Amino acid sequence: MKTLAICSVVAVIGMFGYLAAESKMLSYMSSDEKVCINCHAMNTHYATWQHSSHREVATCVDCHLPSDSLPNKLIAKARDGFNHSLAFTLRDFGYNLRITDDAARRIQDNCIACHDGIVSQMLETSKLYSNFDSHVQMGRKCWDCHRSVPHGKTRNLTTAQNNLGVKEL
């Protein structure tokens, strides 16, 4: 019985190690933007980012994760990672990925933080706009006007493999 228990524990540890290695689990703890293309479904987003003006100044983590504290960043990374792995494992994400409300809020906050000079000017004149969303600062999300920043106009997951391609930086 003791041998069976030891073999079971070793098998579980071995399986976990195998899954960790195959999924490149530890790489997700880094800020390297290439981590985002561990899964082929993100190739379009990575390739369009590579062709954008943001490539030189912002990585995936800079835009998509909170920047206020390390615990918030790790929590968001874990939650997003779980949701991504679940969606990709079950293959229920379709051809166009959809942003969650939480991720949209984080991206909006990060856009405003990086572009605070111009945003402060816009806040002064935001009362002139008539189309307001009460949940968003200034009544609009940044990408309401800046649709192609930083991922271009390409949104479909099947596009990059045929047209854009990921280039080695």
Q: Which fold has domain 35-169?
A: Multiheme cytochrome fold (1.10.3820)
pLDDT of residue 162: 47
Tens of pLDDT along 44-91? Answer: 788 888 888 888 899 888 999 998 898 998 899 888 888 887 887 887
- The reported pTM is 0.70
- Residue 24 or 161, more confident: 24
Residue 42: count other Cβ atoms within 10 Å of its Cβ. Answer: 20
The full set of domain ranges for the chain reads: 1-30, 35-169
Tens of pLDDT along 15-55? Answer: 999 988 887 777 777 778 888 787 666 777 888 888 888 88
User: How far apart, in whole angstroms, are the C-alpha atoms of residue 85 and residue 26?
Assistant: 14
Share of the chain above pLDDT 70, in %: 79
